[in-house]
Amino acid sequence: DNGIVRPKGYNVSWHVNPEIEKHHFGNSHPMKPWRLTLSKGLIMSYGMHIAMDTYLSRQATEEEMRDFHSEDYLEYLRTAKVAMPDDETPKPYNLGGSDCPIFEGLFNYCSMYSGASIDAARKLCNNEADIAINWSGGLHHAKKAEASGFCYANDIVLAILQLLRKYPRVLYIDIDVHHGDGVEEAFWSSDRVLTLSIHKYDGMNFFPGTGDLDRTGPDDEANPGAHHSINVPLSDGIDDEQYIWLFKTIVGKCVERFRPSAIVLQCGADSLAGDRLGRFNVQVQGHGACVAYCKSLKIPLLLVGGGGYTPRNVARAWAHETSIAIGCDANIDPIIPQHTPYRSHFRHETLFPTLEQILGDPRPNKNSPKKISDIVQSITEQLRFVNA
Ligand code: TV1
Ligand code: CA
Ligand code: ZN
């Protein structure tokens, strides 16, 4: 007995496709789809798949992707040829640079992670799942006709559009260390989607350079989207205590005012301590506490992945969060099972690595208590303009 049982009274659906994991952005590129293999290996070595409905996800059709993306952009994505090593001719749609290279199988990659998020959203709509999970999704920077920040197709927007067919209001929450600009922009003029992104903000010194506190929606009060974008700009080194308090306080107020009928939580793992690109000091416990809080609201919940550039820590976080979704987090052995595939990746510094202990240098916390309380005060005032 490994402590894993199917939860009574609710269903978790897990959407996977090993084809996605095989794509390569290039050797030095920080985005490694292979981190999904590591996550899946950890989830399965704990036996968590026994407690979920596991679905092999399919490719989204071009028609489904046209719900958000332009036809010409999709056509270019589908037919773009991998450039020769010395070819520096500029490509359209922000493709072919170092952040968004054109690699082998690019369109398959995009349509597969999009298909998984669409499938997951439909499981919630059909009441076949209470929590649906797609760790390969969460690619929040992609625009209608532009690739950006390692993201080509915006699976989150596609999933939210599915949810809006059934649910009147969707709350989008983004705990990736980067601003969720693509999702925010897509629903900028809508009062049916409240977007909330927590991120590092340092003007143009940190990608994508947007997401300050005063970015709350269209300035025109007559626009239904006014006040429906919420941004939490943070500095380096925020710790679990501050992060969890901020998350629960702000999400609690959002739920009270907006009364969402579904929640999408982007669980970008680059907000963890020790991330190759991130700057925060959040631990697996703190990151997971956000998932646990959303689950406690008892509203249909879609969990997607996102960033995360230290693969062993990405796998820890997403395996821990899968266990929270199932409700077996308190019952599992924190020591990573001996038979976990690629277990050697978890043992760089200790012989008995655990699920929650991540290895990263602590960063000094540059977020003063006053900064944190000023953010909450400003968002509380903003939410007075938001009604269900
Ligand atoms: C190739 C090889 C690409 C090494 C990119 C870090 C690389 C980065 C690389 C990198 C890198 C960024 C910018 C600058 C915009 C550019 C999945 C004006 C060591 C959701 C995307 C971050 C985050 C993009 C995606 C950012 C997500 N940072 N090494 N690139 N130009 N791009 O700053 O939110 O996590 O860094
Ligand atoms: Ca974010
Ligand atoms: Zn990120």
Ligand 1: does its nearest atom lie under 6 Å from the Cβ of 21? no
Residue 328 lies in a domain: yes
Percent of the chain with pLDDT over 70: 100
Residue 96 lies in a domain: yes
Separation of alpha carbons 316 and 66, rounded Å: 34
What number is the average pLDDT over the span 20-33? 97
Residue 1 lies in a domain: no
Nearest protein CA to atom 5 of ligand 1, as residue: 99
Residue 63 lies in a domain: yes
Secondary structure element (H or E) that encloses residue 53, with its range: strand 53-56
Residue 7 lies in a domain: no
Q: For residue 305, report the distance from its CA to the centre of ligand 3, in Å.
A: 10
Interface pTM, i.e. ipTM: 0.99
Instruction: Read off φ and ψ for residue 254, nearest 5 degrees.
Output: -60, -45
Ligand 1: does its nearest atom lie under 6 Å from the Cβ of 268? yes
DSSP 3-state percent helix, strand, coil across the chain (nearest 5) = 35, 15, 50
Question: To the nearest whole number, what is the mean pLDDT of the chain?
Answer: 97
Sign of the torsion angle spanned by Cα atoms 357, 358, 360, 364: negative
What number is the average pLDDT over the span 291-317? 98
What number is the average pLDDT over the span 195-199? 99
Q: Which residues have a Cβ under 8 Å from the Cβ of 123 and sit 6 or more positions away?
A: 13, 53, 55, 129, 132
Residue 3 lies in a domain: no
CA quadruple 153, 156, 158, 163: dihedral, nearest 10: 170
Q: In which band, very low, low, confident or very high, does the pLDDT at 86 lie, cut at 50, 70 and 90?
A: confident
Nearest protein CA to atom 14 of ligand 1, as residue: 207
Q: What is the pLDDT of residue 90?
A: 82
Number of structural domains found in the chain: 1
Instruction: Read off φ and ψ for residue 284, nearest 5 degrees.
Output: -55, -40
Nearest protein CA to atom 34 of ligand 1, as residue: 178
User: Is the predicted pLDDT of residue 91 greater than 70, yes or no?
Assistant: yes
User: Is the predicted pLDDT of residue 238 greater than 80, yes or no?
Assistant: yes
The CATH code of the domain that includes 168 is: 3.40.800.20
Residue 105 lies in a domain: yes
Q: In which band, very low, low, confident or very high, does the pLDDT at 136 lie, cut at 50, 70 and 90?
A: very high
Placement of tokens 């999904």 in the chain: 36
Half-sphere exposure of 302 (CA within 13 A, CB side): 38
Catalytic residue among 141, 178, 179, 227: 179
Tens digit of pLDDT for each residue in 92-128?
A: 999 999 999 999 999 999 999 999 999 999 999 999 9
Residue 66 lies in a domain: yes
Nearest protein CA to atom 18 of ligand 1, as residue: 207
- 345 noted as active-site residue: no
Ligand 1: does its nearest atom lie under 6 Å from the Cβ of 307? yes
Ligand 1: does its nearest atom lie under 6 Å from the Cβ of 306? yes
Q: In which band, very low, low, confident or very high, does the pLDDT at 85 lie, cut at 50, 70 and 90?
A: confident
**pTM metric for this prediction:** 0.98
Tens digit of pLDDT for each residue in 338-359?
A: 999 999 999 877 889 999 998 7
Q: In which band, very low, low, confident or very high, does the pLDDT at 1 lie, cut at 50, 70 and 90?
A: low
The boundaries of the domain holding residue 343 are 12-383
User: Is the predicted pLDDT of residue 138 greater than 70, yes or no?
Assistant: yes
Separation of alpha carbons 313 and 250, rounded Å: 26
Ligand 1: does its nearest atom lie under 6 Å from the Cβ of 207? yes
What number is the average pLDDT over the span 174-188? 99
